[in-house]
Homo-oligomer: A and B are copies of this chain.
């Protein structure tokens, strides 16, 4: 049975401040919960129906606390529209980043990405393209926001996400000769640009793109050209769409 206190505790994780204080976040839905179980992150609490425990042959040491409840109780507690059989409270990873971890690989940085759906989609893209580290400006939307977690489709459990001073890390990158790329309307055609297998690719805010302060740190300004007929078309691509195309293009070059 799910006590009132447990329900209150689970709901409290909808608030960013609570999540940060407790270093916990909530994952919902059978698929995501199973991914959380097989991930390296320890589970504080697992709440599921008896069917879920039996079907997946889970025992009671899978989480610090294991609660069995009815489908009805779960439905009442859940924030999802489609009824599911499980939810889990997961300990946040303690991701520490040193710049030398980034030197031999491609990483993605986000400058004030606001929309949870966009961040979740970008995490999923990073996971697909084998990008280990996602660097977020401190004003980027919280990656443990439930909408981000759902949109990431479990990728949040694998990609290492760091909230940090983006200006400082890009300064360090420059000093270490790590190439820094960013997308700009006036950038060079990405298909005709030289792209390295390592570096940091910066993507900007939905409405305003990359901020001037961050822009100053970016040596390689690239652009996805439009093929709109007669130049009459959309002004820009969605930031997650642009991130997907850029990551694909970086990876394609190294897979040749």
Contact = CB atoms under 8 A, between A and B. Distances in A.
B117 A228 contact: no
A72 interface: no
A158 interface: yes
Contacts of A95: none
A130 interface: yes
A227 B130 contact: yes
A224 interface: yes
A233 interface: yes
Q: Please tell me how many copies of the chain the complex holds.
A: 2
B234 A155 contact: yes
- The size class of the interface chain A forms with chain B is 35 or more
Contacts of A128: 224, 226-228, 233-234, 237
Interface stretch (A4-12, A209-217, A239-247): A239-247
B251 A248 contact: no
A26 B30 CA distance: 38
Interface string A221-235: 000111111001111
A204 interface: no
A179 interface: no
Contact of A241 (B226, B233, B244): B244
